[in-house]
Every structure is written in C-alpha cells, then in structure tokens.
Amino acid sequence: MPLELPTITDRQLKESLSQILQGWPLYRQFHYLGAAGTILVPQIITLYCESCANNQFWETDFYSEENDRQGFKVKQYKCRNCGYGSVQYYFYWGQEEDKSFLFFKAGQYPELEERVSASLQKALVKDIKLYKNALRLRNFNFGIGAVAYMRRVIENHMNDLVDTIFEAAQTATISPETLKKMEEIKASRGFQDKIAFAESILPPRLRPDGVAKPFGLLYDLTSDGLHARSEEECIAIFDGCRKIFEYVFAQIHEENEVARQFKADLANAPKLKPSSS
C-alpha cells in the first residue's frame, strides 16, 4: 500500500468509483482517505450498450438503509435507454486498520470487452488477435503482459507503417533517393532507425495533439514498462498509450484508403462520357 494516500472529497470519490466500475481492471486496488460520508456506489454510470450500439447511461437500484461499504457486495446496473442491457459487479469496499478505505472489483459479468473499432481492425489485420490479447490482459490486471503485446504489434507493423506513412505523406513523385532510403530502412534490423524514419515522414495531421513523435513514445513507454515497471505501473502506461496507439494506426489506414479511392476515381473519370444535351 502506498505510504501517502490521497485524501479526497465525496465528489471526487464518486467520480473515481464511476471510473473504476466503467473501465478499471479486476483487482486493481483503490486506496484513499476522507470521503467518509459516501457509502453507496454511483447510481448512474456510462457504458457501451450492445443492444443500443452506443454509449448510454446505466442505472442501479438502492434500498432503504443500504450500505455498500461493508465488505464484498454485488450490484447490477441496467441500460436506461433500452432496459435490456445489464451488467453485474462484484466488488470489495471496506475500511482498513489504518482508517483508510479500499475499493476494488473482484468480478464483472459480462466481462470487460476487448472492443476494437472497425477501422483499427482493418489497420492491424493479422495482428488484431495480438492486440485483443493485450486488452484482455489489461482487463485482468496483467499490465506487464499487456504492454508486451502492444510493443509486439508495433514491431510487427513497422515495415508496413513505413510504406503506409510514406503513401499518406506523398504529395509528389517519389524520388529515387527516397525510394532507396525506404528500402534500406525496411531491410535494416535497427528498429530505432525505422521509428525515426517513420516519424520523419509522418504528416502533422496524423499526429495526436501534443504528441510530436508518437511511434517513438509508444515504443519507449512500452519497453520501459516491460523491463522496469510493476504490474500497476504498466496498467497506467497501457491506458495512457492506448488512445495514441489506436488513433495513429487507425488514422493512417483510413487516410490511405480514402487516398486510394480518390486516385481510382480520378483514373476512371476520363472513361465517363458526359450526358448529351
């Protein structure tokens, strides 16, 4: 347990409990001081509903004189929009000997899903299973395994990314010098060289706000997690990297698909005959 625990307000605790129920892995522990007046989990949380195919508000029922902060408890939430979707949480919430409080999820049904967007599935192709393995490990609080799988996907796709980023960045005829450089980079075993080259030709529009070198950042963070961090720290690293990872891979793929279709349409345009007046 940390030496210095955060002292939080009741409002901060309710926000934290919502985040934990909505997305934290099983058994990831939340220790805190303060907020002694809060004894119930949030009545309303936000989750994705399969039936509604969208994020919705989910609600639970409370009974008179109920107290969730009494050890292991079970709570069911239902989608307020369709009334069909439901999720059940098994959690522990109690006070420790040092007067601090502890909360963690011990179970969830249906389990946290490894939901991946359609665009990312198309971008990762054969490695989508590896990435879903990363998400599954994260959801069961195995942070080191999660960052290892994420790094593996980055490594597997780097040659493809050199090609696709170059295609997205291309605005004129490719010079022989650049083609030669690209082939040398792809043939090289130096992974850092490939990252540096990919970063150098990545268009600014494909960089998440405030992230100048997304590939290098992702690789360095996941490598650091794999070799030098705890499970808990790796969960935080994975969660911090996930949005950048999914944004960059999906955006590059989508932009290239649009560009290919545009080029195909332009090539077919001369074949079209104008209608007679």
pTM: 0.76
Helix 128-139 vs helix 143-169: crossing angle, to nearest 10: 140
Alpha-carbon span 71 to 40, nearest angstrom: 12
Going residue by residue through the chain, which has 277 residues, state the pLDDT in tens, using 9 for 90 and above.
445 888 999 999 999 999 999 999 999 999 999 999 999 999 999 999 999 999 999 999 998 889 999 999 999 999 999 999 999 999 999 999 999 999 999 999 998 888 888 888 888 888 899 999 999 999 999 999 999 999 999 888 877 777 776 666 554 556 677 767 777 777 777 788 888 887 877 777 778 877 888 888 999 999 999 999 999 999 999 999 998 998 888 888 777 766 666 666 666 666 666 665 5
Provide the pLDDT for residue 85. Answer: 94
* 107 and 236 Cβ atoms separated by less than 8 Å: no
What is 36-68 written as a DSSP string?
A: TT--S--SEEEEEETTTTEEEEEE----TT--S
In whole numbers, what is the pLDDT of the chain averaged over residues?
86
* 215 and 244 Cβ atoms separated by less than 8 Å: no
Structure confidence by residue, pLDDT tens digits, 51-75:
999 999 999 999 888 999 999 999 9
Provide the pLDDT for residue 136. Answer: 94
Nearest to 34 by CA among 53, 14, 51: 14
Measure Cα distances from 263 to 250, 256, 259, 266, 269 in Å. Answer: 20, 10, 6, 5, 10
Nearest to 69 by CA among 24, 99, 102: 102
